[in-house]
Each structure stands twice: as structure tokens, then as C-alpha cells.
Amino acid sequence: MTDVSAAHPRSSGRLVRPRLRIVAGVCAGFARHTGLPVTLVRTVTFVLALCGGAGVLLYGWLWATTPDEAPATGSGGHHDRLPKAALTTSARSGSLTTPVAPALASPATAGTTGTTGASVDAAAGEPRRAPVTEILLGLALVSTAGALIANRLGAELPLDAIIPAIVALAGTGLAWRQFAELRSGAGPRSSGMLVRALGALVLVALGILLFFITSESPNVWTVIVAALSVLVGVAVVVAPWAVRLTRDLSDERAAREREAERAEMAAHLHDSVLQTLALIQQKAGPHSDAARLARAQERDLREWLFTGTRNAPVDLAAELRGFATTLERDFAAHVDVVAVGSVDREVPEPLLAAAREAMLNAARHAGGDISVYVESSPAAIEVSVTDRGPGFSIGAIPADRWGVRESILARMQRAGGTATVQPGPGGTGTEIRLTLPLDVQEDTP
Amino acid sequence: MTDPTASATGDAPDLTVVIVDDHSIFRSGLRSELDPALRVLGEAATVDEAIAVVVATQPRVVLLDVHLPGGTGGGGAEVIRAAAPQAPATLFLALSVSDAADDVVSVIRAGARGYITKSSSGAEVSEAARRVAGGDAVFSPRLAGFVLDAFGAVAGETAASIDELDRLSAREQEVMRLIARGYAYKEVASALFISPKTVETHVSAVLRKLQLSSRHELTAWATARKLL
């Protein structure tokens, strides 16, 4: 059941049933375990099955008591070539390989290259529905018929035990197959599930009842034992749902605990670390390295604390704030991003790129306090980047300097917007304003 | 917003302040960083302490943390509501590590005259306190941005008359936009060709609207925080 055994099939010390299987993987698993040729094992089993059903019983017993092989990770490749080998539906954690009868119904995702010659991999994430129910039914019918014929031919078979047992097994298999579907999360129509669950229940109950009714002349003890057996049978059938229910419950509880823990930690960090970072910034002076580091840390922490898992479309303000953090790490600059309004659509890439370039320019050539202002109205998005540096005029830029001319001005023009470069507030520094009109779509909410 | 108004310290008596913050390290840090012209009358760490200290010392300006333990859980806003009636000459300046709009709005609506971030330097805090003491409102770029958002300026809403509380006039919007861009009041004045005093008038008008407006965005925050 370990990954080691999956990786080195032949050196495995434990008897497991491989993913690659024709019926339930018992023969293949046995062959792998003993090192015998799988064909030989299969032939012997078949011959034994003809000898009064001994092979079938042996097979069933091994099937019930042998755990499934752990799902192999990282096995990819081509699909199954054996249609019957596709007795696999979904992922299995391996924690639930209780040695009860559900072998046929046990799900699996990944096949390992086993010993049957055909290298078979179940493609992960592609659940395949195997005709388990049909196979179960067929097996039950065939073995029943075989047993009947053997009986007619004179073999002394405990028919009255075998037939109910087969019926009960089939019912249990059906029930655990439901379990497989439940676990895979592929919820089929609930009515179908109900019908099958009821069918499984009836089968199990019938099988167990038959076992006692046909055995001897019924007396009080038989009836009591029969009733208890039916109860046990029902418990076995219901077990999958119970297991699933408790598992879901504990999953949910764990998630809630994690959430509470996170909230508590966020509150604590807000009260302690953010305050300390603010103090460091205050004491260290606005342009020192310590202040920059503290500020970058604060921003990171704040983002982690308050945004949580966000899967919204790219937000221009958030994007620029993130960029501001990296700028503050690399340059002696203090970048303040103020965003007004919100856009409910994808931010045009040229605007984002031009805004980044403008911020980079400001941080590199001016440093100090840099203000970024984003205003997103339904009609246009405007970004202004203001610095307090030495300033420059657009005419004074050499033609070979690509930074401003190409990356900002030309880029905005190509995107249908405008960019202006002008002296900053009070005549110091530079202010770059990017405006991108949006084609107003009336129907967007 | 860092331009010094030299006139404030000249003949005026010392500016008295009280520092309210639940972190002693922050209080002592701020105290040592503050301009010497500011006289710290006291410190407080909780809502109840803060109310007691403010009422007892009657400072000119309270540097008030938005998040405070104690009281009924109302934080800085609760301090303002409880202490302001008993200290009529006292003005409140909110300090916060949180840039969350609803935090800031809650203290502003409770009556704070301005808001700055805690990472501001001692000189900046001193300047802001002086400005508040002088009767002006202190707007950080972020608060200006929030105001533009909350009053629908981005969507093109403009007040038709001076008395209207729910929208900003065109001039107020221009002032707020420039403040949000990081302009100091003086720079706003020169960019708009108006006097700094006019800028301050506009800012104070915006602050008043922020405190009194019944715009649904503001009201929603206020009710969510049990302010109304």
C-alpha cells in the first residue's frame, strides 16, 4: 500500500491488488507477490473455479482480504487498452481499504504498469465508469449456474449457502460502489442512487434471509441470528454513507478551525506587528532603508491579512500597489497609491504597462515621495504619477531614450489614449498623466 | 501637506496634546518625535482612560488611534462622542494604521477634524496637529480619494448648490483630486490659481459634508458601525 510498493512492484512484501486488473486484480496481485507468471495463476484459478467453485471462493476470499494498491502518483501516459481493466472510477486515499468485500467497487485513479503486459494508465482526472454492476450481476449468475450444474452432476455443494452468499455479496458490492461515486463527487441523479441503494439493501437482506431459511428447519435461534445478520448486513451497506458523513463533518470542522485561527492571527498581527512597522517607519525617517523595508513588509502583511484569497479579475489599483511594493524595495522611494472608483472589466494592458513605466521612471530618477492616483470612471481610466524630483521636459529627452517616449507616450497613443508630461505640483518634479477613454458599453451593468 | 505654516507657533501659546494609543511603544515613540512646541499633557491606552484624561486635561488636540480597546468597543469614535461634550475646546485628529475607509469614516463622522496614517513622521504629525488646532481639516491623499468615491464624484455627480450635503461642488472635487494626487494645500492653491485660505475653506466644507451627509454609502457605514 505504500508508494514504495507501487514503485517497485516485484519487491513488494505485501499482497496488494494492482490497479491494472481484469476482474478485481487478485490474480495479478498474487502473481506479483509470489513472482509466478500471471497467466499461470489465472489458469490455475480458472481450473480451480471449475472444480466445484473452489477457485471462485478462494478468489472471493483474497479479494475481500487484500487491500487495493495505493494510487500511484505521477503515472501518466496512454489510456487503458483493456476495457475490462477499467474498474476504476475515482481517487482513493487508501485510508479506507478495509478488508471487507467492496473490492470490486473500490475506486482508483491511476494505474501502474503492472505485470499483465499491457502498460495501462488511468489518466488522472478522467473518471471512467466501469460496468461494475453488470459484471457483478454476470458473475453472480454465472457462478450460480455453474454451481447448479455441478450440483446436477453430482457434486456435493452447499448450494443453500453459496447462492445467498452470492446475492449478499452482490448487494454489498453495489452499495460500496455507490460509495465510490459519492466519494468521487460525481453526483449522479439522486433518484438513480436511491434506487440502487434500495436494491443493494434488499439484496443483502434477501441473501442473508435466504441463507437461514433454506438451511434447516427454522427455530427461534435461527430467526434471531437471521435478524441480527440482516442488521449487520444493513450496517455494511449503510457504512459508506456514514463514513462519508463523518468525514465531511470533520473536514468542515477543520476548515472552520483554520478560518478562526486565521482570523485570530490576523487580529493579532494587526495589533502588534503592523503597529511596530508603523513605529519603525516613523522613527527611521521617511527615506531611510529601514523605513522602506518596514513599509514594504507592512504592505505585504496588509495584503495577506485583508485580501485573503481573491480571485477577482485583475484590479488596476491592486496591480499598481504590488508594483509600488517592489519599487520601494529597489529604490529609495516612497510610493503612495490612491485609487478612486472601480472598473468592472479587464484593465487594458497598455495602460498598465505605461503606468508601471511611469512609476519606474519616477522611482529611478526622482525617488522620494511619489504619488500614484488612479481614477476609474465608466468613461475613462486616468492614472497620474507625481514625483518631487528634478523634473524634466519632454523636449529635452534625447531621441534615443526609449523610456518615456516609447514606453509611455507612444504606447498610450497606440492604445487610443493620451499621455502628458508636465511639471509637478508647485513647479517641482514631474507629473505624468495617462488617460485612456473606455468605449462605453451601455449594456454592461 | 507638509508645508509648514510658520505663523502658528510664533506668539501662540504652546499647543497642548494628548496621545491616545493602546501601544505604549507607539505612544513613547510619537512623544519623542513630536515637535518641541507641542506639549503632551497626557497619554491613554483605552477608551475609558482616554475619556478621563481628555476631560481632565482639556487639551487643544487629541492624537487619537482609531482602534482602541475598552469602552463598548467603539474605539476612537466612542472617545470622541463621549469626551467632546465635556471638552468643548478640544479637537481630534485620527491616527490609524488601517487605511480601511470605514474605519476612517467612523472617526470623521464622530467628529474628528482629520486623519493621517501612523507611519507619518513626527514632523508630519506635529504639522497636522497644528493645522487642526488652527481650525483646518487635515486630509490625507487616501481620505481625499475616499471622499471622491463616496460622493460619486467619479461618476460625474456635482452639487448644484452650495447647501447641498450629498454631493461635492466642482471646485471641491478639483481640490480633492489634487490632494489625492499628493499635492500640498499650497500646491493645490497655485495649481487652481486660488489662495491657500480658499483651499482650506473647500477642505473644511468637504469635511463638514463628510460628517453630515446622509449619502447612502456613508449612512451604510455609519449604521453598520452603530454610529447613527
B134 or B224, which is more confident?
Answer: B134
Using the structure block, give the residue that is written with the C-alpha cell 476470499.
Answer: A61
For residue B204, is pLDDT > 60?
Answer: yes
Query: How many angstroms separate the Cα of A375 from the Cα of each of A66, A303, A341, B193?
Result: 66, 21, 6, 23
A·B CB contacts under 8 A: 104
Query: How many angstroms separate the Cα of B12 from the Cα of each of A271, B8, B133?
Result: 37, 7, 11
Predicted local distance difference test score (pLDDT) of residue A212: 64
* B98 with A426: Cβ contact below 8 A: no
For residue A316, is pLDDT > 50?
Answer: yes
Picking from A195-199, B105-109, B179-183, which range would have the lowest pLDDT averaged per residue? A195-199
Predicted local distance difference test score (pLDDT) of residue A361: 83
Smallest Cα distance from B88 to chain A, Å: 30
Q: Does A248 touch chain B (CB under 8 A)?
A: no
* B97 with A426: Cβ contact below 8 A: no
A-chain residues within 8 Å CB-CB of B31?
none
As a whole number of angstroms, the distance between CA B190 and CA B201 comes to: 15
Predicted local distance difference test score (pLDDT) of residue A66: 66
Question: What is the H or E stretch that residue B54 is in?
Answer: helix B47-57
B-chain residues within 8 Å CB-CB of A276?
25
Highest mean pLDDT among A32-41, A148-157, B191-200, B219-228: B191-200
* B187 with A283: Cβ contact below 8 A: no
Picking from A161-175, A337-351, B18-32, which range would have the lowest pLDDT averaged per residue? A161-175
* SS3 label, residue B19: strand
Using the structure block, give the residue that is written with the C-alpha cell 504597462.
Answer: A353
Picking from A75-89, A225-239, A357-371, B3-17, which range would have the lowest pLDDT averaged per residue? A75-89
Question: B17 with B44: CB under 8 angstroms?
Answer: no
Mean pLDDT, rounded, for A43-62: 77
B21 or A271, which is more confident?
Answer: B21
Mean pLDDT, rounded, for B213-226: 60
Task: Give, in degrees to the nearest 5, the angle at Cα B206 between B203 and B210.
Answer: 140
Q: Does A297 touch chain B (CB under 8 A)?
A: no
As a whole number of angstroms, the distance between CA A74 and CA A87 comes to: 20
As a whole number of angstroms, the distance between CA A122 and CA A88 comes to: 8
Q: Does B121 touch chain A (CB under 8 A)?
A: yes
Topology of domain B16-137, CATH: Rossmann fold (3.40.50)
Contacts of A313 (CB under 8 A, 6+ apart): A345, A346
Contacts of B164 (CB under 8 A, 6+ apart): none
Using the structure block, give the residue that is written with the C-alpha cell 515613540.
Answer: B29
What DSSP state is assigned to residue A100?
A: S
Predicted local distance difference test score (pLDDT) of residue A131: 58
As a whole number of angstroms, the distance between CA A316 and CA A372 comes to: 12
Mean pLDDT, rounded, for B50-65: 91
Q: Estimate the crossing angle of helix A273-284 against helix B24-33, to 10 degrees.
A: 10
Predicted local distance difference test score (pLDDT) of residue B92: 92
Question: What is the H or E stretch that residue B64 is in?
Answer: strand B61-65
Helices (H), A272-339: 273-284, 289-307, 316-330
Question: B39 with B60: CB under 8 angstroms?
Answer: no
What DSSP state is assigned to residue A69?
A: P
As a whole number of angstroms, the distance between CA A141 and CA A45 comes to: 18
Q: In which band, very low, low, confident or very high, does the pLDDT at B119 lie, cut at 50, 70 and 90? A: confident
Query: How many angstroms separate the Cα of B13 from the Cα of each of A441, B30, B62, B130?
Result: 60, 21, 17, 12
Highest mean pLDDT among A314-318, A346-350, B125-129, B159-163: B125-129
Mean pLDDT, rounded, for B155-176: 78
Q: Please say whether the dihedral angle defined by the alpha carbons of residues A343, A346, A351 and A355, taken in this order, is positive or negative.
A: positive
Task: Among A283, A295, A338, select the one facing B180 at the smallest CB separation.
Answer: A338
Smallest Cα distance from B53 to chain A, Å: 23
Q: What is the layout of strands, in order, in the sheet containing A418-423?
A: A333-341, A368-376, A380-387, A430-437, A418-423
A144 or A338, which is more confident?
Answer: A338
As a whole number of angstroms, the distance between CA A335 and CA A371 comes to: 6
B-chain residues within 8 Å CB-CB of A370?
182
Q: In which band, very low, low, confident or very high, does the pLDDT at B1 lie, cut at 50, 70 and 90? A: very low
Picking from A100-109, A178-187, B71-80, which range would have the lowest pLDDT averaged per residue? A100-109
Task: Among A279, A339, A370, select the one facing B29 at the smallest CB separation.
Answer: A279
Mean pLDDT, rounded, for A24-39: 80
As a whole number of angstroms, the distance between CA B131 and CA B110 comes to: 19
For residue A205, is pLDDT > 80?
Answer: no
As a whole number of angstroms, the distance between CA B194 and CA B185 comes to: 11
Comparing C-alpha atoms, which of B177, B176, B185, B162 is closest to residue B207? B176
pLDDT tens-digit profile of A66-102?
A: 666 655 443 333 333 333 333 333 333 333 333 333 3
Question: A371 with A419: CB under 8 angstroms?
Answer: no
As a whole number of angstroms, the distance between CA A167 and CA A147 comes to: 14
> Taking a contact as any Cβ pair under 8 Å apart, which residues of chain A between 395 and 434 contact chain B?
425-427, 431
pLDDT tens-digit profile of A241-299?
A: 777 788 788 888 888 888 888 878 877 777 778 878 888 877 776 667 788 788 878 87
Q: In which band, very low, low, confident or very high, does the pLDDT at A193 lie, cut at 50, 70 and 90? A: low
CA A136 and chain centroid, separation = 31
Question: B93 with B113: CB under 8 angstroms?
Answer: yes
Mean pLDDT, rounded, for A217-244: 71
Contacts of A419 (CB under 8 A, 6+ apart): A354, A408, A409, A411, A412, A413, A432, A433, A434, A435
Smallest Cα distance from A370 to chain B, Å: 8
As a whole number of angstroms, the distance between CA B210 and CA B111 comes to: 10
What proportion of chain A, given as a percentage, has pLDDT over 70? 56
Highest mean pLDDT among A266-270, A347-351, A368-372, B212-216: A368-372
**Dihedral pair phi/psi, residue A63, rounded to 5°:** -60, -45
Q: How many CA atoms lie within 13 A of A282 on its CB side?
A: 29
Q: Does B213 touch chain A (CB under 8 A)?
A: no
B-chain residues within 8 Å CB-CB of A291?
119
**Assigned CATH class of B142-224:** mainly alpha
Nearest CA in chain B to A341: B149
pLDDT averaged over chain B?
81
* B155 with A278: Cβ contact below 8 A: no
Mean pLDDT, rounded, for A161-185: 66
What DSSP state is assigned to residue A415?
A: T
Terminal-to-terminal C-alpha distance of chain A: 55
Task: Give, in degrees to the nearest 5, the angle at Cα A191 between A188 and A196.
Answer: 85
ipTM score here?
0.76
As a whole number of angstroms, the distance between CA A403 and CA A389 comes to: 17
As a whole number of angstroms, the distance between CA B130 and CA B112 comes to: 14
Cell triple for A339 = 485609487
Highest mean pLDDT among A80-89, A133-142, A150-159, A361-370: A361-370
Question: What is the H or E stretch that residue A341 is in?
Answer: strand A333-341
As a whole number of angstroms, the distance between CA A218 and CA A211 comes to: 11
Picking from A124-138, A140-154, A419-433, which range would have the lowest pLDDT averaged per residue? A124-138
Comparing C-alpha atoms, which of A62, A61, A9, A124 is closest to residue A18? A9
For residue A59, is pLDDT > 70?
Answer: yes
Predicted local distance difference test score (pLDDT) of residue A106: 38
Smallest Cα distance from A343 to chain B, Å: 11
B-chain residues within 8 Å CB-CB of A371?
141, 181-182
Terminal-to-terminal C-alpha distance of chain B: 31
Predicted local distance difference test score (pLDDT) of residue A112: 36
Predicted local distance difference test score (pLDDT) of residue A270: 73
Predicted local distance difference test score (pLDDT) of residue A128: 44
DSSP string over A119-147: ---PPTT------HHHHHHHHHHHHHHHH
A128 or A390, which is more confident?
Answer: A390
pLDDT averaged over chain A?
69
* A375 with B154: Cβ contact below 8 A: yes
Question: What is the H or E stretch that residue A44 is in?
Answer: helix A38-50
Predicted local distance difference test score (pLDDT) of residue A350: 84
Task: Give, in degrees to the nearest 5, the angle at Cα A398 between A349 and A326.
Answer: 40
Picking from A277-286, A349-358, A407-416, which range would have the lowest pLDDT averaged per residue? A277-286
Q: How many helices (H) and strands (E) does chain A have?
A: 14, 5
What proportion of chain A, given as a percentage, has pLDDT over 90? 0
Q: Does A295 touch chain B (CB under 8 A)?
A: yes
For residue B89, is pLDDT > 80?
Answer: yes
Smallest Cα distance from A317 to chain B, Å: 12
Picking from A92-101, A164-173, B147-156, which range would have the lowest pLDDT averaged per residue? A92-101
For residue B149, is pLDDT > 50?
Answer: yes
* Total residues found in chain B within this entry: 228
Nearest CA in chain B to A428: B187
Picking from A39-43, A103-107, A162-166, A388-392, which range would have the lowest pLDDT averaged per residue? A103-107
For residue A430, is pLDDT > 50?
Answer: yes
For residue B52, is pLDDT > 60?
Answer: yes
For residue A195, is pLDDT > 50?
Answer: yes
Q: In which band, very low, low, confident or very high, does the pLDDT at B9 lie, cut at 50, 70 and 90? A: very low
For residue A118, is pLDDT > 50?
Answer: no
* SS3 label, residue A315: coil
Predicted local distance difference test score (pLDDT) of residue B61: 92
What is the maximum alpha-carbon separation in chain A?
Answer: 113
A210 or A438, which is more confident?
Answer: A438
For residue A107, is pLDDT > 60?
Answer: no
Predicted local distance difference test score (pLDDT) of residue B62: 92
Domain spans, chain B: 16-137, 142-224
As a whole number of angstroms, the distance between CA A44 and CA A61 comes to: 16
For residue B202, is pLDDT > 50?
Answer: yes
